[in-house]
Structure 1
Amino acid sequence: MGMRPAARMPKLTRRSRVLIALAIVAVVLLLLGPRLIDTYVDWLWFGELGYRSVFTTQIVTRLVIFLAVALVVGAVVFAALALAYRTRPVFVPTAGPNDPIARYRTAVMARLRLVGVGVPVAIGLLAGLIAQNYWQQVQLFLHGGSFGVADPQFGIDLGFYAFDLPFYRLVLTYLFAATFLAFLANLLGHYLFGGIRLAGRDGALSRAARIQLITLVGILMLLKAVAYWFDRYELLSHTRGGKPFTGAGYTDINAVLPAKLILLAIAVICAAAVFSAVVLRDLRIPAIGVVLLLLSSLIVGAGWPLVVEQISVRPNAAQKESEYISRSIAATRQAYGLTDEAVEYRDYPGNTAATAQQVAADRATTSNIRVLDPNIVSPAFTQFQQGKNFYFFQDQLNMDRYRDDDGNLRDYVVAARELNPDRLIDNQRDWINRHTVYTHGNGFIASPANTVRGIANDPNQNGGYPEFLASVVGPNGEVVSPGPAPLSQPRIYFGPVIANTAADYAIVGENGAPREYDYETNTATRNYTYTGSGGVPIGNWLTRSVFAAKYAERNFLFSNVIGENSRILFNRDPADRVEAVAPWLTTDTAVYPAIVNERIVWIVDGYTTLDNYPYSELMSLSSATTDSNEVALNRLQPDKQVSYIRNSVKATVDAYDGTVTLYAQDEQDPVLQAWMKVFPDTVKPKADITPELQEHLRYPEDLFKVQRALLAKYHVDDPVTFFSTSDFWDVPLDPNPTASSYQPPYYIVAKDLAENNNSASFQLTSAMNRFRRDFLAAYISASSDPETYGKLTVLTIPGQVNGPKLAFNAISTDTAVSQDLGVIGRDNQNRIRWGNLLTLPIGQGGLLYVAPVYASPGASDAASSYPRLIRVAMMYNDQIGYGPTVRDALTDLFGPGADATATGPAGTEPPASGQAAQQRPEGNNNPPPAAAPNRPGQAPAQQQPEVPAAVPPTGPTQLSAAKSAALQNVNSALDALREAQQSGDFAEFGEALQRLDNAVSEYQSAN
């Protein structure tokens, strides 16, 4: 029994066509409507910023790729289906009236145009949508240039690997996918139309089906042969399991590389054999070819390299791999900016003895010892500088440097007082208030990092908080700018805090009376009208309708607060704005504010990266930049692999009008040069960086973290030593008991290591441990000074010098320190927090560890529970120094005279009322510090008194009779507590603890 398929394609009924058209329109509206709105909004936004060419270049590139891939893939699939249909048998036998294939065939024939055209179109559209995401590879292929460096194996310029090879791989992938989809479509088409029949003992295959399918299989084999050719180049950037380096090793060069050429030849031979089956009409030939290729892949591609690895390499791996390890060392240093020109290694003892006079002479370091931890003091900023409930600071503040009135370089903890829409309450949260009244922050707050205001011996005492320099809008609308630099516009419309919320837009501009909240006087609230150029105009009904649809908010259409001069500010995160106008950049996780040319700008570091630099170490950007600070960051690095990175761009975002400016930092970077060809006139030359901006450019943290992780291995020159890992280093874990990850690098002002002189320099630093040990191996410093920017200095430390963990353990378990802090934190009434443990080269070859100690009243109300600096602990050559201030700790550690240049508390008097009113128009000033308490007697470190440092002075001439008697009771109670602890009697221990608590309370109340 047989049937002949319809010779003509049946037409759809009018009703079916109408329904299909309506369905297509509905799908288009649902899928493309929001995208079209977003595209139009982006067009407006890029135009407002002056980067519309970036937007149009992306759109055009994506569209061209989409159309090209969609047409090619769709056409190939359509051709495969059309050939199967046109070469179908005239009569197709069926198994009977209930044959399922016959039913499917009938259904398809009834809707032949829909299936024959719809399926290829759908597949083509899907392929095009996926392919357009790779627009960057296409643009780099079109505009990439030369690196001027050849790979060590093939002698090909590295530009081939960076710009050409990814594109070739992309094209090959889509050709392979299109051919494979065509094979499946042709196979199913022949099966459906009767060219392939499985019924009967042997089945049947029409001549047309055989020719078409064999041809497609042959093409797949040829494409596989081409893939084997490109696989050879990718060996130089891959990682084989068990190798301590990236790139082709002995097995890859001597086994895998020849295997790829052999497999290429086999693939071509198999393809020829498959094509021959068209003439010979023997399907066993292509079957044998496919099996041969698969077996060859297993035997030649996997088996042979495995044998070489086990028999030839493993017994003497260090010698066999030495040549290739040397390649990896050289390539990694080049790819990550760790060449001899960028890194200077110096031998450094690390444990040289130092006198008080030598320490005092190290003025650049001792006068700038940082006691403010930017990861801890944010609550203090909030307590004293917040002003209103809707102002807020980042959880992790930033470090920058400015020069004081005498021209001395000082580091500051800096913060922008931003608006946080999520902290609006009650009627502040309605649409008009949230988006048209509470629109901006107000103020740049800076605190000298090496001092605090007043001394707090106890967290319940006043003092121990930062000295605030607040540049804000004053009570009469004037700008009050006491430092650290003059500021003419303190209002902040763009920043990471204000953007860290849903629908972070603000509607500003002149429309009647000022309505934006600005500041308060004693009698009234003053409003403000935005006068900047930033923002997209929404004065006409078209843009209002578009934004109403984008944010699903009808107030855009009906609210009278929007006028013809209104503008909308959105996309207000500085890093997001930079990544939008420079989509080829990866931005640093740390974005920081600075005063440049009397304006607040956010400085963003941008990186260009590659993941296929030959022989360079391939590493996870996310893993390399993870440390104990990540919990305080709003953004983390993406989990992507890199083998090349450059801090190629410095970007600024104006906090008032949102202007984004890109500057070329590394003009020699070939990747940057390629992107500057793709987007001409978007990146300004390095020469355009003003001296005022250059003064605030920092060596970026994420780049430094990547480099220190690599220096842990790639400081080794000898390949055999490298293979053994015996001379590797480790990034130390953060010794702070509340941390559970790597110790972050720290910005400090200290002695200039880049120039090796006694002038002060702003540096990013990190200690390095010996491999899997807690002894110090090296100290890394990256200069941020304009004259030596980017120079890395590595002090290599021999012997067994205590690393951060050992130093912290020694400090925290010191008898005087532990007893003192035990008294302060008794019964968990006060929370003790250790600040960052700084490592500072000092003297003639020693290392000083410095750890500030903070405490906050645990039992008091939240408003006063901000952390206060109560102690400074130090360690030098196993000796401990401890006291309420840096001066006290230095004197305790080195003896009298060591504190000659150290900075003490900022002051002992509160700001004058007029000054306070200027600094804090909202009435929330620097609180008055407590009178400076008497300082403890300074005993040598090895003879520290066991009196808790929470109770001031030990010198008899400084204490009243009542205080002296109370102090004796404290000492007696401490002795009793130690005896009870050793006895193991819990009842006795509890009584002793209560006695100590009573004695301390008696001491504090004594006059």
Structure 2
Amino acid sequence: MNLKPSYILIALIAIIFGIGPLIGLYTEYLWFDMTGYLSVFTTIITWRIFLFVVGFILIFGFIYANISVANKKIRDILGTDNEKRTDIDGFIIPGALLISFVFALSLSGQWETILLFLNMVPTGLEDPIFNQDISFYLFQLPLLEYIRNILFSLTIFVLIFVGLIYLYKLEDILAPQYSIESDNEFQVPKSDIAESISKIPTGVIAHISILFGFLLLIVAFTFYLNRFDILFTQNGVVAGAGYTDVNVTLPLLTITAILCAVVAAAIIANVRSANLKIPLIGLTVVVILILLTSFVPSAYQQFVVEPTELQLEEPYLEHNIEFTRQGFGISDVKIKPFDYDTELSHSTVENNQDIISTLRVWDPRALMSTYRQTQQIRTYYEFNDVDTDRYHIDDEYRQFMISVREMDITELDPSARTWVNERLVYTHGYGAVMSDVSAKTNDGRPVLSLQDIPPRGEFELTNPRIYYGELTRDYKIVNTDREELDYPRAEGNVFYQYTGTGGVQLDSISKRLAYMLRFGDVNFVLSQYINDDSRVIYDHEIRDRASKIAPFLIYDNDPYPVIHEGRIVWIIDAYTISEKYPYSQRYRTGAGDINYIRNSVKVVVDAYEGSVDYYVMDEEPLIDTYSKIFPDLFKPYEDMPEGLKDHIRYPSEFFNVQMDMYRIYHMTDVETFYNREDAWQAPREYYRGTTVPMEPYYIITRLPEENELEYILMQPFTPRNRQNMIAWIAARCDEPNYGQLVQYEFPKDRLIYGPNQIEARIDQDPVISELFTLWGQQGSSVIRGNMLVVPLENSVLYVEPVFISADEGEIPELRRIIVSTGENLYMGLDIETAINVLLGEEIVDEDGEGVPIPQDARELAQQAMEHYNRAQEHLSEGDWSGYGEEMDNVRDILEQISQLIPQTDVEMV
């Protein structure tokens, strides 16, 4: 049998390009089997293969059938003996195979859309226009739109493909006749276009008519689906269908869909008469209708609706408000008044000492520099970020900063970056650093609750090794004949052999060959260090790892570590999202535009074993549907270990999205919403010379009318384009109230200072600003940390830490705490002293002697400023001796200020 060269070429390409995917498929099988989620892998791959095969057969069958029809009609026209052979003959079938492959590949990529459709869970909620269950838009409509798209694209391709076949094969019949004029050499056709069209054989017209008719049926289906798309429009004042959409656009789309179907039927019926006028007239009508649907609604909106917009749009604005609040999970926010008291009383402070003692005075941005300078130990360790969490320690509820020490081999000396070191020796990070958010040493350093290598402190970390974290992305091979670096120490490095179950065991030559091909590394086969007990660990960046198992979830950008049962585990918040929630306002995220989001899943990843567990937090339609598709993937929240339940928190990324929507959609009155009368915005705070938006923050506090301390995520709000504070919202993180959103409204008849106004008052305070100026000289800089707005019963306390940092080798030191009640403001060495002075209390040392803090500090600061100004005068005159003397005086006064409050214990009398 003689094979055509084109077929041989296709076979060779398939073999060459097929090896990689097959190796990838095999190693993915091994990886999923190791993680315990093989059923997820087999479900996805089975459906992908099934859809590819079925899609390829159907699509190739459709293309081949049209090719066969075209060839048959050509033979009928020309006769079997006169059929013309062209250059494209050898490419028709290979081209059809290639196109079928591409379309089938696209179809296999829609496994998720199809499985969601087949397993959809009804919501029990209907939209107000079409009365469809919301599940229709979440699960059915995306599939219908994909089917429309693939059919439209395929039909267009077949029309072009068949048209080219006819043009090439019937060139002698379809080509126009030419004549040569005597005056020049130009050729002109003897006949006009209409005459050329009339030469098209009726069989060809019939075939093309059927394809055009089918295409118009798809267009009719498109207009039918576009009727539902009006619920997702984002034009005008209404997100979703407005007055014009319902009363003008919807009827036009319905009429257009019907007429397109009628024209399609007429064109298909044209097979018998083969009259070209019918499809031309039909296409003209369709084009006119499409133009009408394009400009008539906008004209109607401008000239009819806008003059009385609020009245006409009122019911649709109600839909928009209701469904947006549902889509973003902000419809159940509890609203409570905050009976604000401008005075912070002594009794309030005394009754809330447990809150004050655990207030976060450390800014994560400043603390990161301190951790890196003092606790990274070696260049190959790295702290990725600083997270906050809370723990129960000795019957106290305390908040801590925590950061884990991960391995970063990019910082190794280049001469040490050998294959053995990078893959076999430097395999894991080690330990973590923790510090109390409210404590500092006398010299302004954090009080470390967990530190050093090996770890020591208040927390017991029996297995501090981190094989799975936020930084490492390169594969590692563990449990080899070459020991891994465990941690360094002065008398020599300590080495270790991995004993966990993470990674794929390389216990056969086939596995080693497979990974050699996957990673392009021949050392999998050649290295004498690798044995049958060795394991290759890859995909150990925790977000990538979780996403590989469940790619249909969206993962939070800030996983956080937890010390649990002597080891480090990671908690990642995962979300279900959609852009198909009717009447909901769209919101732009890194994952695309969305109008529905839920924090449905908490993902727990063991830093040593790499095990991944998915716990369902919120039963909602999307996660319920995914649970039907993957019954072995998700676990109920009740199955989460009790110790980990104490560390779940409301995710700030999710809260940010909700609050961005809530600043507008807290308004439920239509007229107020329409006029944006009560729009909010996040306050701004000062950081490193500029103002930045104030991010939500975690604190331990006691909510008004509550008795127990609890961990909350909090966001203050100010009116739009104003700086006074109007409300604050708490997301509760502790059981049994986890997930509740509570809005506390300030009275509208009085001024409540916003964070930026307090920042302005700090800048305007002469003593503080003078000290900042002095501290910011000669290679140092002043860093003002996060400002916290702390509710204490019916009062508000503003707290801002002040750090001093050298410009070189930055290790920020916490030197002062600024506190304010709005009316009064004071900067002290620690928060307790600052609050006491703010309240006008007398501070005494342990000998009972009074410490006159406020006045002395101000007098000394003023003296320091005077000496500094005189020093500048000497400098401008070139008097270096006088300049030096005055700067020595400045230094002496600053030392007096720093020692103003005795380093012994003080108490309030």
* TM-score, structure 2 normalization: 0.91
Report if the CA contact (8 A) 1:356-1:896 is conserved: no
Separation in 1 of the partners of 2:854 and 2:246? 66
Q: Displacement, 1:52? A: 0.9
Q: 1:121 corresponds to which letter in structure 2?
A: L
- Residue 464 of structure 1 pairs with residue 452 of structure 2: no
The amino acid across from 1:360 in the alignment is: E
**Count of matched residue positions in the alignment of Structure 1 and Structure 2:** 872
Inter-partner Cα distance in structure 1 for 2:837 and 2:883 = 29
Aligned match of 2:492: 524
Amino acid at match of 1:840: V
- Does residue 223 of structure 2 align to residue 228 of structure 1? yes
1:822 aligns with 2:781: no
Determine the C-alpha separation between the residues in 1 that align with 2:149 and 2:832: 67
Aligned equivalent of 2:543: 575
Counterpart CA distance in 1 for 2:895 and 2:272 is 108
The alpha carbon displacement at 1:256 in A equals: 0.9
Would you say 1:381 and 2:361 are equivalent positions? no
**Secondary structure at 1:652's aligned position in 2?**
strand
Give CA deviations for 1:623-652 in whole Å, capped at 9, x if unaligned: xxxxxxxxxxxxxxx3x1111111111110
**CA RMSD of superposed structures (Å):** 2.9
Whether contact under 8 Å (1:651, 1:660) holds in the other structure is yes
The equivalent position to 1:547 in structure 2, one of 515, 521, 524, is 515
Q: 1:643 to 1:517 in 2, by over 3 A?
A: same
Q: 2:457 aligns with which of 461, 473, 482?
A: 482
Indicate conservation of the 8 Å contact 1:870/1:884, yes or no.
Answer: yes
How does 1:257-268 map onto structure 2 within 5 Å?
A: 257-268=250-261
Tell me which residue corresponds to 2:587. Answer: 619
Cα distance 1:165–1:739, how it changes in 2: closer, same or farther (>3 A)?
farther
Of 128-137 and 145-154, deviating more is 128-137
Which residue does 2:433 correspond to in 1? 445
Aligned to 1:320: 312
User: Within 1, Cα distance between the matches of 2:107 and 2:886?
Assistant: 73
Partner in structure 1 of residue 903 of structure 2: none
Is 1:869 the counterpart of 2:814? The answer is yes
What SS does the aligned partner of 1:939 have?
helix
Alignment partner, residue 465 of structure 2: 491
Q: Offset of 1:424 from its aligned partner?
A: 1.8
Tell me, yes or no, if the aligned pair for 1:532 and 1:657 is still in contact at 8 Å.
yes
The answer to which of 41-50 and 63-72 deviates more is 63-72
Cα displacement (A) at 1:824? 0.8
Mapped to 2, the partners of 1:787 and 1:946 lie a distance apart of: 52
1:506 matched to which residue of 2?
Answer: 476
Deviations 1:335-389 (A, max 9, x none): 221123xx11122255622223322322243122111112221121122222222
| Alignment partners' CA distance in 2, 1:882 and 1:1005 | 16
Flag the 1:246–1:986 CA change in 2: closer, same or farther, 3 A.
farther
Quote how far apart the aligned CAs of 1:290 are: 0.6
Matched, 1:255 2:241: no
Q: How big is the shift at 1:994?
A: 7.2
Single out whichever of 797-806 and 670-679 deviates more from structure 2.
797-806
Answering whether residue 11 of structure 2 is matched by residue 28 of structure 1, we say no
Cα deviation, 1:685-719, whole Å, max 9, x if unaligned, reads: 12102221110001011110011111101111111
Q: Does residue 1:273 correspond to 2:266, yes or no?
A: yes
SS of structure 2 residue aligned to 1:199: coil
Relative distance call for 1:897 and 1:288 in structure 2 (3 A) is farther
1:172 corresponds to which of 113, 124, 148: 148
Partner of 1:793: helix, strand, or coil?
A: strand
Q: Deviations over 1:468-487 (max 9, x none)?
A: 1226764xxxxx55324x33
- One-letter amino acid matched to 1:483: E
Q: Which moved more, 1:994-1003 or 1:763-772?
A: 994-1003
Q: Distance in 2 between matches of 1:718 and 1:996?
A: 64
The aligned residue for residue 840 of structure 1 is 790
Does structure 2 conserve the Cα–Cα contact (< 8 Å) formed by 1:855 and 1:869? yes
**Number of the residue aligned with 2:360:** 370
Deviations 1:264-303 (A, max 9, x none): 122122223323433333212211111111111112x123
Distance change (3 Å), C-alpha of 1:851 and 1:246: same
Distance 2:539 2:690 in 1: 33
Equivalent residue number for residue 585 of structure 1: 553
Q: Distance in 1 between matches of 2:351 and 2:463?
A: 41
Correspondent of 2:57 among 67, 71, 74: 71
1:662 aligns with 2:614: yes
- Of 840, 844, 850, 1:895 maps to 840
1:153-164 equivalent positions in 2, closer than 5 A: 153-164=129-140
Shift of 1:530: 0.7
The CA deviation string for residues 865-894 of structure 1, in whole angstroms up to 9 with x for no partner, is: 311111212232242221222123223322
Contact 1:359 1:898 in 2 (8 A): no
CA distance in 2, matches of 1:556, 1:1000: 66
SS at the partner of 1:527?
strand
Structure 2 counterpart of 1:400, from 380, 389, 392? 389
**d(CA) in 2 for partners of 1:310 and 1:944?**
66
Which deviates the most, 889-898 or 327-336? 889-898
Q: 1:813 to 1:44 in 2, by over 3 A?
A: farther
Give % identity.
28
Whether 1:699 and 2:687 are equivalent positions in the alignment is no
Q: Is the 8 A contact 1:319 1:720 kept in 2?
A: no
Amino acid at match of 1:346: K
Alignment of 1:305-316 (within 5 A): 305-316=297-308
Counterpart residue number, 1:743: 694
Conservation of the 8 A alpha-carbon contact between 1:222 and 1:271: yes
**1:137-196 deviations in whole A, cap 9, x for unaligned?**
111001111001111122211111111111111112112222222221222221111177
Please give the alpha-carbon distance, in whole angstroms, between the structure 2 residues aligned to 1:350 and 1:199. 89
Q: Helix, strand or coil: the match of 2:457?
A: coil
Structure 2 counterpart of 1:428: 416
Aligned partner of 2:321 in structure 1 is 329
Alignment of structure 1 residues 345-360 onto 2, 5 Å = 345-350=335-340, 352-360=342-350
Other-structure match for 1:3: none
d(CA) in 1 for partners of 2:509, 2:388: 45
Matched letter for residue 397 of structure 2: L
In 2, the alpha carbon distance for the partners of 1:80 and 1:427 equals 65
Q: Flag the 1:899–1:645 CA change in 2: closer, same or farther, 3 A.
A: farther
Q: Which residue of 2 aligns with 1:972?
A: 866
Check whether the contact 1:811–1:874 (CA below 8 A) recurs between aligned residues: no
Could you give the per-residue CA deviations for residues 721-773 of structure 1, whole angstroms, max 9, x where no partner exists?
101111111133453245675322111112235xx325321111111121222
Closer/same/farther in 2, CA of residues 1005 and 166 from structure 1, 3 Å limit: closer
Amino acid at match of 1:669: E
The alignment's TM-score, normalised by the length of structure 1, stands at 0.82
- Is 1:189 the counterpart of 2:179? The answer is no
Q: Is the 8 A contact 1:359 1:843 kept in 2?
A: no
- Is 1:125 aligned to residue 115 of structure 2? no
TM-aligned CA distance change 1:527 to 1:751, over 3 Å: same
Contact persistence 1:699–1:784 (CA under 8 A): yes
The within-5 A match list for 1:12-23 is 14=2, 17=4, 19-20=5-6, 23=9
